[in-house]
A and B are shown apart, each in its own frame.
Chain A
Amino acid sequence: MRPLRGLSLYGHYLLLGFRSQAEYRVDLALMIFGVTVLNAVDVALLAVILTRFPALGGWSFWEVAFLYCLYLAALGLENTFLLHLVDIDELIRDGTLDHMLLRPRPVLLQMLAKDISPRDLAQVGLGLGGAWYSLHRLGLALGVAHWALLLAYLVAGAAVLGGIVLAICSVGFWTVRSRVFLAGTGELQEVVQHYPAHVFGQWFVGLVTLVLPFAAINYYPAAALLGKPTVVSGPLLALLPFLAAAGCLTAGGLVWRLGLRSYLSTGT
C-alpha cells in the first residue's frame, strides 16, 4: 500500500474515532476533569516537598515540575495515537488479529487507527501548559528554536514510550498475555516521571538509559533544556532522546515483525 494512502486512511479512521468519542460529552468532560485533578494533586505533593526543601538532588521545585510535565505531555501524546498497542495480547486471544490479517491493510495501522483518545490530548495540553509555566517561574524565556527542540523532544519521548510498549506487548505472540509485563514497568515509569533519575544512583540511571530508556522521555530533555549536569553531556546529551527513540522504535518493530511472522492463529 502506498504510504500516502495509508496516512490518509489513518487520519480518516482517527477522525471517525474522535467523533464517536466526542458524542459522549459528559463522559469526556468527567475524564478530562479526572486527569486534571489527579495531575494537579501530583504537582501539589511535589510542591509540598519542594517548598519545604529547596531542592531534590540539585533540582528545584520548578525544575522537577518541568520534568514531570515533559513526561506527562509525552505520555499523553503516545496514548493519543498509540494507545491500542496494549491491546495486542487481547487481539491474539480473542482471534480479532485473524480478521485484521485478512484485510488488505497493515495490521499495525488497523490497530492504531481504531480510535483516538481526546482525554490523552488533554494530557498533552496539561503537560505543555505546565512545562511553559515551570519555565516561566524559572525565569527562562525559550526562543523559537528551543521551543521547536522541546516539541521535538516530546515527539521523541512519545516514540521511546511507543517503541517500548510495542516491544513488550508483542511478546504476547509467544506468551499470549503481555499487558502484565508492561504493568511491571508501571512503578519505574512513575519514578522517572516524578523525580530526577540520578537521585536513585548511577545504576538506576544506567537502567533507565540503556535497558528501559524511560529517562530519555523527560530526564535528558529537561537536563538539556535547563542546563543541568547528567552522566552524559554536550551534543550527546542533546541527541540522546532521538537516539533512544530510534533504538526503541527499531526494537519494537523487530519484535512485532518476529511475532507476526511466527503467529499461527488461535485455531478456533
Chain B
Amino acid sequence: MTSAVGHGGRVLLAFAWQGARTSTAYTTAYWMELLNAAVRVFAVVTVWAVLYRSYPQQFPVTGGQTKTYAAVTQLTAVMLTWWSGAHHRIARQVRDGTLYVDLLRPVSYPFQLLCWELGESAARLGLVVLPAGIPLFVLLGLGPPGSAAGGLLSAASTVLSFVLLYECNFLVGLVVFRTLSLKGVQHAYHALITLLSGLWIPLWLYPGPLAAISQVLPFRSIFYTPAAVYVGYLDGPAAVRACAVQLGWAVVLWLGLEAGWAGTRRALSAQGG
C-alpha cells in the first residue's frame, strides 16, 4: 500500500514537472502572461473600487473586502487558466491522433491529465500569480484573509476549485470524442463559467433569479467559494458548509468523470499505420 502511494506520488510529480516545464518554456510568453495578469487584476480591482466609492450602501461588505475579492478571483483564474484546460488538451490530442501515446502508459488517462494540469497550475502559482499578486496586493492596498482559519480554509477551497474545474473541463472534453470538435460546446461552457462562477462579480450582488440558478450548479464553487472565504464574507459554519458543498461536487463529478471515461474508452478505436 505504502509503495503504491509512493509510486502514485512519483508519477504525479513527474507529470507535474512536465507540466511546469511546458508552461515556462517560452520566456517572452511568460513575461506577457505576467503583464496580462497584472493588467487584469488592476482593472477589475479599480472598477470595484470606483463602484464602492460611488455606492458604498449597495455592498454588504467593506471596500477592502470588495477589492480583495476581485483580486483573489482574478489571480485564481490566472492560476487555473480555466479557459484552456484539460478540454483543450483532449481536443488537440483527439484531432492530431496523439491520444494513443497517453493511453499506452500504465497510468489512467484522467489521472495523467490531472497531474499535468496540477504541474501547470503550480508553475503559474509560483511564477505568475505570486510575482504579480504580491506587489499588486501592496500597491492596491488589498487585505490578508479575514482570519487565520479563513486563510487555511480558503487555501483548501482553492485546491478543491482546481479539482472541480479539472473535472468539469474533462467532462466537456469527453464531448470531443463524439463531435471531434470543441466548437460551440466550449463557448457555451465558458459562458456558463463566466456568468455563474462569481469570477467577475461577487455572487452576493447577483439579482435573485440568477443567484438561485448559481446555487444549484457547481460553478460557484470554482471561484466564488475560495474568494468569499478568503475575505471573510463566508466564515465559521457557513465557510465550512461551502467547502463541504465543493467537496460534494468534486466527488459527484469524479464519479461522473470515471463513468464517462469508461464509456468513452470502451467505444474508442485507434486506427493508423
Contact = CB atoms under 8 A, between A and B. Distances in A.
Interface of A: 27, 30-31, 33-35, 37-38, 40-42, 44-45, 48-49, 51-57, 175, 177, 180-181, 183-184, 186-188, 190-191, 195, 199-201
Given A41-B194, A53-B51, A184-B36, A48 B201 contact: yes
Contacts of B26: 177, 180
Given A30-B181, A41-B191, A48-B201, 11 more contacts: A27-B183, A31-B183, A38-B190, A48-B206, A48-B207, A52-B58, A53-B58, A175-B28, A181-B28, A191-B39, A195-B43
Contact of A53 (B31, B46, B54, B190): B54
B32 A33 contact: no
A80 B181 CA distance: 23
B187 A33 contact: yes
A87 to B, nearest CB: 17
B194 to A, nearest CB: 5
A34 B194 CA distance: 13
A56 B206 contact: no
Contact residues of A: prevailing secondary structure: helix
Nearest to A29: B184
A93 B86 CA distance: 28
Nearest to B184: A30
A34 B188 contact: yes
B156 interface: no
Contacts of A175: 28
B191 A45 contact: no
Given A48-B210, A49-B201, A187-B36, A199 B50 contact: yes
Interface in B1-58: 26, 28-29, 31-32, 35-37, 39-40, 42-43, 46-47, 50-51, 54-55, 58
Contacts of A49: 51, 201, 205
Given A27-B181, A34-B184, A195-B43, A183 B36 contact: yes
A200 B46 contact: yes
Contact residues of B: prevailing secondary structure: helix
A195 B49 CA distance: 13
B200 A45 contact: yes
Contacts of A33: 184, 187-188
A53 B55 contact: yes
A190 B43 CA distance: 10
Contact of B207 (A40, A51, A195): A51
B186 interface: yes
Nearest to B51: A53
Contacts of A188: 39
25 contacts: A30-B184, A33-B184, A33-B187, A34-B184, A34-B186, A34-B187, A34-B188, A41-B194, A41-B195, A48-B201, A49-B51, A49-B205, A53-B51, A175-B28, A177-B26, A183-B32, A184-B31, A184-B35, A190-B40, A190-B43, A191-B43, A195-B43, A195-B47, A199-B47, A200-B46
B195 A199 contact: no
Nearest to A28: B183
Contacts of A186: 36
B205 A48 contact: yes
Contacts of A177: 26, 28
Nearest to B26: A180
Closest 4 CB pairs of A and B: A34-B187, A30-B184, A184-B32, A187-B39
B54 A181 contact: no
A38 B191 contact: yes
A44 B43 contact: no
A160 B138 CA distance: 35
A43 to B, nearest CB: 11
B272 to A, nearest CB: 24
Contacts of A200: 42-43, 46
A180 B207 CA distance: 39
Contacts of B201: 45, 48-49
Nearest to A33: B184
